[in-house]
Amino acid sequence: MKKLFYLLLTMLLLATSLLAGCGNNAQESAKKNGQLHIVTSFYPMYIATANITKGVEGVQLTNMTKPQTGCLHDYQLTTDDMKTLEKADVFVANGAGMESFLDKVIKEHKNLTVIDASKDISLLEENGQPNPHVWLDVDNAIKQVENISQQLCSADPNHAEAYKANAAVYIGKLKELQADMNNELKDISHRDIVTFHEAFPYFAQEFNLNIIKVIEREPGSEPSPQELEDIIKDVNKLPTKVLFTEPQYSPTVAETIARETGAHIYALDPIVTGEANEQALDAYINTMKQNVLTLKEALK
Ligand SMILES: [Zn+2]
């Protein structure tokens, strides 16, 4: 009987301390004028987090990088970024190697909660490195919303219900988008595509497209004359001669290839640039719809 009593007492104490733990965390976060300051690394993270935190009282959301920054390959933190991080309670990162500065951020900001949006997502590899462009597969985008929402609930348990409800609404919209995209892309007659950056393997995998060539792996890494010749050969073999550039990249190389092969140039948008404002809420969905229209037009 005594044993049972102690067991119950221990359980009670444990439960109380767990509850207190949550409370303390929330108080910790709420300390700064009752505000939780969340900073996102780049645009796709901003879009997801803006949907999850929509209308939640006391949340201040900032996108660290400038609207035209794009992907963060080899990105170096600026003085402004460091000031932004100084004021942050939570930092939302894509992970999977997109933010090469992430270790430095974790080391220098011990009290910052860092959210890894790509937790448990299986990654494709390019030349032995994980490909970080996971959000371009809608299933992964949904998983990222779940990851951000769950980790935000632990960081700010006072608003957990609101984050969960918002995440559920947004995931519903993403599932609808995914069904529409599958439906729209199921009957296209050609599936071989040439792109300009390693952004689309996840997208291609989800929608059964074959990326036969990637022309510029990183911005500014232009192909050598020999590579250019090989690319021209590959493009000439395509049943539908089309090239997909990205609005974030200079079209010069694409124009050269187009001149040599007669290929048409279209733009696919990896959704990495845009203003951190109200419009961002639907930016992923609207841009994906535009990408589908572009693919249908290009590959008909
Ligand atoms: Zn990229």
Model confidence band, residue 195 (pLDDT cutoffs 50, 70, 90)? very high
Instruction: Check residue 299 and give its pLDDT.
Output: 93
Centre of ligand 1 from the C-alpha of residue 75, in Å: 11
Measure 15 CA to ligand 1 centroid, in angstroms. 45
State in Å: Cα 187 to ligand 1 middle. 28
Q: Cβ-count burial of 256 within 10 angstroms (0-12 exposed, 13-18 middle, 19+ buried)?
A: middle
**Cβ-based neighbour number of residue 173 at 10 Å:** 14
Give pLDDT tens digits for 18-60.
Answer: 443 344 444 444 445 678 999 999 999 999 999 999 999 999 9
CA of 197 to the centre of ligand 1 (A): 7
Burial class (CB in 10 A: 0-12, 13-18, 19+), 288: buried
Q: Hey, what domains does the chain have and what are their CATH numbers? A: 30-181 (3.40.50.1980), 187-299 (3.40.50.1980)
Helix locations, 73-219, DSSP H: 79-86, 102-108, 138-155, 160-185, 201-206
**What's the CA-to-centroid distance between 271 and ligand 1, angstroms?**
10
CA of 199 from ligand 1 middle (Å) equals 5
How remote is the CA of residue 71 from the centroid of ligand 1, in Å?
5
Q: How far is the CA of 122 from the centre of ligand 1 (A)?
A: 17
Confidence of residue 216 (pLDDT cuts 50, 70, 90): confident
Q: How many CB atoms lie within 10 A of CB 166?
A: 21
Write out pLDDT tens, residues 98-120: 999 999 999 999 999 999 999 99
Which residue has tokens 């910052």? 112
As a whole-number percent, the residues of the chain with pLDDT over 90 amount to 76
- The CA 27 to ligand 1 mean position distance, Å, reads 38
Residue 210, pLDDT > 70, answer: yes
Going from the Cα of 30 to the center of ligand 1, the distance in angstroms, rounded, reads: 35
What local confidence, expressed as pLDDT, does residue 217 receive? 65
* pLDDT bucket at 223, cuts 50 / 70 / 90: confident
Confidence of residue 148 (pLDDT cuts 50, 70, 90): very high
Q: Of residues 113 and 4, which shows the higher confidence score? A: 113
